[in-house]
Each structure stands twice: as C-alpha cells, then as structure tokens.
Amino acid sequence: MVTVAEFRTIAMGFPEVTEAPHFEKTSFRIANKIFATLNIAENRATIKLSEAAQDLFCLNKKLMVPVPNKWGKQGWTHIDLSEIPLEMCSDAVKTSYLEVAPKRLTLNL
C-alpha cells in the first residue's frame, strides 16, 4: 500500500518536477509535460510508460492496468495505491519520469 503522501514524495523526488492542478487531479510535470497524476478521491495514480514498460508493470492487473481507452494505448497506466507495494510504485514512477524527462536530467538517475 502506498499513501497519497508517499506517492507525492516519490513523484516530487526527481529533478525539476513541479506539481500543478490537472482538472480534478494533481499532476506532476517535468518540462511542463505530465508524467504522473494523482486522483486522491479514487486512491489512484496514473503514469506515462512506454509500451514495453507498460507490458511489464501490468502483469498483475490488481496493481496496475492500462487506462481503458486510447490513452492506455499511448502508455497511460493506472496504479491502485491501496494494493501496490511501495518499492514497485517507486520503480514505476521513476520509469515514467525517465520516459518523459529531458535526457540531461536522467543521466545520473
């Protein structure tokens, strides 16, 4: 299980990340590009992954699942915060950050 505070700490722990509203959610951005959102009401996060990373992280559909529409085909993936282990969530968010961040920021991660 990952709390909202823990998710926020993970997402904000990377270089140059900003937090901003995104409709009824909170978004986490790098270079003004969203790599994660947090839906507190549904205790769910959504992250951007490559197709290969999405396939790997979504092996257990109880923890992570592609968004069920065209966004899912673009790599957007839901995380059930009440189910996912902290270490797996941290790995997934880092993978999302690395997918979106400028390469100059990812060299030492």
DSSP E strands, the chain: 17-22, 25-30, 33-39, 44-48, 64-66, 76-80
| pLDDT digits 0-9 by tens, 48-86 | 999 999 999 999 999 999 999 999 999 999 999 999 999
- Whole-number mean pLDDT of the chain? 96
List, edge to edge, every strand of the sheet that includes 17-22: 17-22, 25-30, 33-39, 44-48, 76-80, 64-66
- Fold exhibited by the domain 4-106: Aspartate Aminotransferase, domain 1 (3.90.1150)
> What residue ranges do the domains of the chain occupy?
4-106
Q: Count CB neighbours of 77 within 10 A.
A: 23
